[in-house]
Amino acid sequence: MCQNHGVAYIKPGEVQVQEIEYPKLALGDRKCEHGVILKIVSTNICGSDQHMVRGRTTAPAGLVLGHEITGIVLEAGRDVEFIRVGDLVSVPFNIACGRCRNCKEGRTGICLNVNPSRPGAAYGYVDMGGWVGGQAEYVMVPYADFNLLKFPDKDQGMAYIKDLTLLSDIFPTGFHGAVTAGVGPGSIVYVAGAGPVGLACAASCHLLGAAVVIVGDMIKERLDQAKSFGCEVIDLTKDTPLEQAIEAIIGVPEVDCFVDCVGFEARGHGADAGEERPATVLNTAMAVTRAGGAIGIPGLYVTGDPGAKDTAAQQGSLSIRIGLGWAKSHSFYTGQCPVMKYHRPLMNAILYDKIKIAKAVNVEVITLQDAPRGYQDFDKGAAKKFVIDPHGMIA
């Protein structure tokens, strides 16, 4: 049997590439006839993975990481009808059965059948059903006919692979954040955070026709990356209140749409820039979004954060000014992105050259053995999206 290697979480601040079990078409003791085994072409390091690696979740040691997966089908179960061996496919990070009420309503991020603990599941993620992650050479994907997006032409797919690899998570997630914030033609948008999801969101806002996209962050290189494709930027290490910084750009101190691409490890702005303040982005959103505006929240918030400074935050309880949001009639949209709602049209946008998403998020391809270095550089704030190429298949 072929060997398999994967990136495993060891302890806070440490991951290792280890030999892991070659995947089987099995769910526990029973055969998984609706699944496939993939040879992984590309698998990406995500900011959500970093929360675990920093020790900010209850992830167990030895967890094989990775929920952003693109691969070639090597083996298919008996019940797989429409996906074929040899197909090049994108794997949504949400694992969904396609049979439950939520899946039938298109809410695949909260499938009811793939995680015994709570609605929703993902590969290689804490509390998400125990599924083996995809930062590896091979992985098993269940409910293949429902979950997988087949690229129409394998050679074309490989030519665009640095862009298409982002369909498994951050491109749909950023797009979802923009859509749920109400971004459309002529919108003025503020995107909190210029990490890969924030950059993907900003590029998505342009795709949706926004008039002005403002991105705030504390890392100069990430702000420079946002500027490289036409965004206005705000350096949050400066003491200028965000309302004033926005007014300096557009003439008024508020925006139509706000997208939180930071999540629960947020830090204060200005003089408080180094201090962790998990509710900062949410409270800022309500302060600078116009009355009647919407706030998309694709940034991750958790129910268990052992690294939080106070007891309430350790259980995901944050002090937010909900009264302000209520008074301004804000709409809030939270939760996992239902990737399948977006990945096919976004694939077409890539293949027909309507967006250069890999350029926007600054993709850098690395080997599987280089994954620990990728995690370290990403944790230091590198303005890059690290894409792992386990088999050396990306040109």
pLDDT bin (cut points 50, 70, 90) of residue 1 is low
16 beta partners: 8
| pLDDT tens by residue, 171-180 | 999 999 999 9
pLDDT bin (cut points 50, 70, 90) of residue 279 is very high
| pLDDT tens by residue, 360-377 | 999 999 999 999 999 999
- Is the pLDDT reported for residue 305 higher than 90? no
**Angle, helices 170-180/196-207, rounded to nearest 10 degrees:** 60
- Is the pLDDT reported for residue 273 higher than 80? no
pLDDT higher at 28 or 359:
359
Percent of the chain with pLDDT over 70: 99
Q: Which two tokens stand for residue 351?
A: 């293949």
**Residue 166: its pLDDT value, please?**
98
CATH 3.90.180.10 region(s) of the chain?
Answer: 4-169+338-388
Residue type, 21: E
**How many Å separate Cα 130 from the centre of its chain?**
19
pTM metric for this prediction: 0.96
Least confident of 28-42, 67-81, 265-279, 378-392: 265-279
320, burial (CB in 10 Å: exposed 0-12, middle 13-18, buried 19+): middle
Distance CA 344, CA 367 (A): 28
Q: For residue 116, which of 92, 97, 88 has the smallest C-alpha distance?
A: 97
CATH 3.40.50.720 region(s) of the chain?
Answer: 170-334
| pLDDT tens by residue, 106-123 | 999 999 999 999 999 999
In the chain, the largest separation of any two C-alpha atoms, in whole Å, equals 64
**Residue 274: its pLDDT value, please?**
74
| pLDDT tens by residue, 188-232 | 999 999 999 999 999 999 999 999 999 999 999 999 999 999 999
Helix (DSSP H) and strand (DSSP E) numbers for the chain: 15, 17
- Is the pLDDT reported for residue 306 higher than 90? no
Percent of the chain with pLDDT over 90: 90
- Is the pLDDT reported for residue 253 higher than 90? yes
Q: For residue 241, which of 220, 275, 277, 216 has the smallest C-alpha distance?
A: 216
| pLDDT tens by residue, 237-247 | 999 999 999 99
- Is the pLDDT reported for residue 153 higher than 80? yes
Give domain 4-169+338-388's CATH superfamily.
Medium-chain alcohol dehydrogenases, catalytic domain (3.90.180.10)
Q: For residue 381, which of 170, 234, 195 has the smallest C-alpha distance?
A: 195
**Nearest 10 degrees: Cα torsion 14, 15, 19, 22:** 140
Strands (E), the chain: 4-11, 14-20, 26-27, 30-31, 36-44, 69-76, 88-91, 138-141, 149-150, 188-192, 212-217, 232-235, 255-260, 289-297, 331-334, 363-366, 385-388
**Nearest 10 degrees: Cα torsion 43, 111, 101, 150:** 10
**Residue 2: its pLDDT value, please?**
60
The CATH class of 170-334 is alpha beta
**Residue 7: its pLDDT value, please?**
98
